[in-house]
Structure 1
Amino acid sequence: MPALAQPEPPHLPHLPHLPLDGLLRRAAERAPGAPALRVGDRTLSFGELDARADRIAAYLECSVGRRGARVGIANTLDADFAAAYYGTVRSGNTVVLLNPLVSPTRLGKVLASAGAELAVVPRTTAALLADPGDRPPCLSLVLVTGAGDGPVPGDTVPLDLVLDAVAAAARCAPSGEPAAFDPDAEVCVQFTTGTTGRPKGVRLTHRNLVANAAQTATAHRLGADSVTLNHLPLHLPMHLNSAVYAGACQVLCPDPEPLASLALAESTGATHYYGLPARLHRLAADERLHGAPLPGVPAGPRLTAVLSGGSALAPDAARVLAERLGVPVLQGYGLAELSPLTHSQTPDRPAPGSVGAPVPGTECRVVDPGTGVPLGPGETGEVQVRGPQLMAGYLGEGGPPVAEGGWFSTGDVGRIGPDGQLFLVDRLGDVFLHDGELVSPSAVERVLGSDPRVAECAVVGWPDAVHGSVTWAGIVLRDAGAGPAVLEEIAARANTRLAPFERIRRVEAIDAVPRTPVGKPVRGELRATVRSRAAAEASA
């Protein structure tokens, strides 16, 4: 079959010749009084956010004393993250993103592997680093955000204290024209989630992040009158940068309750709602969503779209939400290595089940995983992407691992429709073979998940001497007291809708699906357990 004819990549708007922090400076100069961030009762204008970034930059210039140092910053849902993020870049140093939801061991490994010299973290994270004996040797100072309510833990310092000192010393006057900068200089290190292996530090540049800010703002139709509601557990640079690029206001919603986030979208006039798939699944299944009257539903006359990313959102859940909220529910796709967005659905190009077309300036193809040969329309293979958002490389390694022509292999399996929309099948390491046929765990999970008795589920391959692998399903039942007969009924019902090679051969109840702190399923843990049990059975 001939290779898929690639359409011209969507037009990428002219990128400003600015450093990453220059996006904030530009927004502050254009509309200093316009709201940039809202969280709770606090609203921070672009001018105020820019001034706070100036003070952080001034402090780092004095305390670190050089450019190129790495500063760990916890990406919590607060204004201090945004100020510290842009202020660190403005000082000529590199942001190392710290997930405040990870274990202390993981936190220490991230700080140590990145060589972070200073950390800016909330009180709960600071408590893990309060004793100098527990810190990585490279970390000399911990600054605590949101510390106004009382003393900070151990040998740490309130961020507001040092910034007040900087302001008093008048060492934070805004500079004039942006200084010369290298667009390919490292400005941010983001660690992969580690769902498929050891977490790696992804090195991102000014060019990567400015380009992806423009790509995201264009794909999501963001403008200066947009209000984006962030209902994610973390403050991700993608959403921050795109809103600042567009001059849009971002509303932060730390409350994990989905219905509370809809009420906030209503009260703030949100135009774009960003949600985590796991939370959107809960929202779609919540009986209160279908009741009336209910504050916040529909989620406001200004809302134009609900946007989901990070992992797959079941088409049934997307349909329910779209019908109830009266706006399109759009899926996106990306990787840390690509800053991160590469694909997004748009309201004018719906494609149920897809993750959308490439964002402006991005190209995508599907290749045979064994040979690297491009595949034709509708054929399934490994997804490759190239564009200006591709990382500089991994920490401790050289440039990004790319195929000929600059194509980056994502490790995801998918196919491209005739209009360029990408349909993902699964991770390359998650799929397995049954009698030579490729089985997608995600496809089986979607069928299982449509059963109202299933709260959540996970599928992996059970090693089998005859077939290669057979489908094993772990199911979290809504009725925890239901017996094995119910599990067998669920599997039998699902098997009527599955191909013979996909059918579930083993099923059992589990307490929970292992997930990362941001909700991505970690099939590796289940796969290791299943393989160990299969080996024990085979040797018995």
Structure 2
Amino acid sequence: MADLPLSIAELPFSVPDRIDQLLSRAAAAHPGRRAVVADTLELDYAALDTRVTSVAAALQGLTGAGEVVAVASVLHPDFAVAYYAVARAGRTAAVVNPLLREEDLLHVLSLSGATVAVVDAALEERLAHVRDRLPALRTVLRIGALPEGDGAPADPATGPGDTAVLQFTSGTTGRPKAVRLSHRNVVVNAAQITDAHRLDGDTVALNHLPTYHPMHLNSAIAAGATQVLCAAPEPYAALMTANRHGATILYSLPVRLARLAADPDLDSISVRTLRRIASGGSGLPVAAARRLSKRFSLPVFQGYGLAETSPLTHSDDPERPVHGSVGKPVAGTECRIVDIDSRAVLPAGSVGEVQLRGPQVMQGYLGGPDGTGLEPDGWLSTGDAGRIDEDGRLFLVDRLKDVFKCDNFLVAPSDVERVLLRRPGVRDAVVVELPDAEHGAVAGALVVLEDPSTLRDVIAAVNDELPYYQHIRDAVTLDAIPRSGNGKVQRRLLAQQLTSRQPV
């Protein structure tokens, strides 16, 4: 890959050669500053760096050069310790979602070839059910009781171009793939995020996510910021934690923020130190962003990225966001829209597939040489449909695999969902593609209603607002929409659920 673009070189700091050097640099500059804060454990930068060194020495005794250590991304300071210790030991970290069930856990551990797994108690129990089908896995270590070695680890023979992390795709359209990210991919993206989110040593970042994503870990460490972990899922718990620890930025999921915005008691709570709220993982409804921004008098902004891009490629302006947009590309990153069929580059305002290129784009998928999954000139086809406005902001439309054609008109399920979610009494909704002999495909809906008996009236009112090819032809009510830990839905499975029940 080419040298870093000039715009990357102009970022707030130069990037180190390895991921763990983000931490050692911060520890040298701010040893007494709080690094990671949780309910039962707090580590300053010096203590975190010391623990990483000790655990790295232990890992070198348990593994050989080139081996993979799976690390469950639980919301606990020991994830940070284990993650950086793997890099300092010269091994590769496979970041594992701790919410996975047995068969998915078996898949990602088999795919990665992990010889050591660092897990919490709950995941260890699930792992025990498939352990006999993982012959490569020799050792299981417990979060909260990581082994420590004597002295410093041997200097690893790894550098910027070596694979540092295996990040797994979400698996919403098939079994997860393992993405190979180099040290350079990850440290560059940490610098890009630090710049885009305006992070610095005065930042206190509140992590209100179900898992500990390396994006938030690396960017906060790169900035010398303090991270506060809130494991409680309730939005109010996050706001109380923010007030208690003086958080300046809140990172949360769209599904949690939307639930907070819709809460009738929202006016009863205030925030004292928060300066902005950041949403990611999927789209945040515009109405929810506006409601929170107005209520708390602070900006609510979104970003965009993929496992294949380390992950962030876009961020809206954290001071002046445009709701509904994921913003402009971060430093050194290119984005374009191409026609779904011809692959020709499209002008501003046109809807097509989003393609990305930049220094944070993956080496390739595990199992293939560098460049596997990329175009020959380095462009990554994301599988997302979107458009870029005249100012360079990206607006996502849908996953390409979710977009379908009705009478040759392109239908994006999210467009129909937006109209559905505006209706009074609609708490949640997902629109899916249903095969249709006459039209090719039509829209179906799964809807959560305050009063399920109003389903027919709601669908009729929504269809009145839509062109005929976007009309909802079948619908059912549910008590809740099944979602993954990061708020995503599997439309194909939901479509099967809909077709197995009676239409409206």
Residue 86 of structure 1 corresponds to which residue in structure 2?
84
**Shift, 1:533, TM fit:** 7.7
- The AA in structure 2 aligned to 1:371 is S
Residue 26 of structure 1 corresponds to which residue in structure 2?
25
Q: Give the counterpart of 1:267 among 234, 244, 252.
A: 244
Q: Give the counterpart of 1:525 among 490, 493, 504.
A: 493
Residue 512 of structure 1 corresponds to which residue in structure 2?
480
Q: Give the counterpart of 1:257 among 225, 230, 234.
A: 234
Deviations 1:23-73 (A, max 9, x none): 000000001111000001432001111111111110011122x22110111
Matches of residues 193-204 of structure 1 in structure 2 within 5 Å? 193-204=170-181
Residue 446 of structure 2 corresponds to which residue in structure 1?
474
Whole-angstrom CA distance in 1 between matches of 2:27 and 2:128: 35
Deviations 1:316-361 (A, max 9, x none): 0101111111111101111000000111111344222111100111
**Shift, 1:518, TM fit:** 2.0
Matches of residues 95-110 of structure 1 in structure 2 within 5 Å? 95-110=93-108
- After TM superposition, the score normalised by the length of structure 1 is 0.88
**Shift, 1:11, TM fit:** 7.1
- The AA in structure 2 aligned to 1:339 is S
Residue 217 of structure 1 corresponds to which residue in structure 2?
194
Whole-angstrom CA distance in 2 between matches of 1:86 and 1:267: 28
Deviations 1:436-480 (A, max 9, x none): 11111011111111223112111112211221112111111233x
Whole-angstrom CA distance in 1 between matches of 2:495 and 2:14: 44
**Shift, 1:212, TM fit:** 0.6
Q: Give the counterpart of 1:247 among 198, 219, 224.
A: 224
Q: Secondary structure at the match of 1:95?
A: strand
Matches of residues 119-518 of structure 1 in structure 2 within 5 Å? 119-130=117-128, 134=132, 136-146=134-144, 158-159=145-146, 162-163=147-148, 166=149, 171-173=150-152, 181-291=158-268, 294=269, 297=270, 299-300=271-272, 302-398=273-369, 399-479=371-451, 482-483=452-453, 486-518=454-486
Matches of residues 1-20 of structure 1 in structure 2 within 5 Å? 13=11, 15-20=14-19
Moved more, 513-522 or 356-365: 513-522
Pair 1:132–1:230, CA change in 2 (3 A) = closer
**Shift, 1:498, TM fit:** 1.9
Pair 1:132–1:496, CA change in 2 (3 A) = closer
Q: Secondary structure at the match of 1:518?
A: coil
The alignment covers a number of residue pairs equal to 496
- The AA in structure 1 aligned to 2:217 is L
Whole-angstrom CA distance in 2 between matches of 1:11 and 1:495: 51
Q: Secondary structure at the match of 1:322?
A: helix
- The AA in structure 1 aligned to 2:334 is E
Q: Secondary structure at the match of 1:402?
A: coil
In the alignment, structure 2 segments of 5+ residues that lack a partner are 1-5
Whole-angstrom CA distance in 2 between matches of 1:453 and 1:374: 41
Pair 1:10–1:375, CA change in 2 (3 A) = farther
Pair 1:131–1:346, CA change in 2 (3 A) = same
- The AA in structure 2 aligned to 1:383 is V
- The AA in structure 2 aligned to 1:78 is H
Whole-angstrom CA distance in 2 between matches of 1:180 and 1:134: 33
Tell me if structure 1 keeps the 8 A contact 2:169–2:179: yes
Residue 48 of structure 2 corresponds to which residue in structure 1?
49
Task: Mark the structure with the bigger radius of gyration.
Answer: 1
Moved more, 500-509 or 194-203: 500-509
Q: Secondary structure at the match of 2:93?
A: strand
Pair 1:27–1:92, CA change in 2 (3 A) = same
Pair 1:81–1:50, CA change in 2 (3 A) = same
Deviations 1:151-192 (A, max 9, x none): xxxxxxx42xx32xx3xxxx23488xx766421101111111
Whole-angstrom CA distance in 2 between matches of 1:129 and 1:435: 48
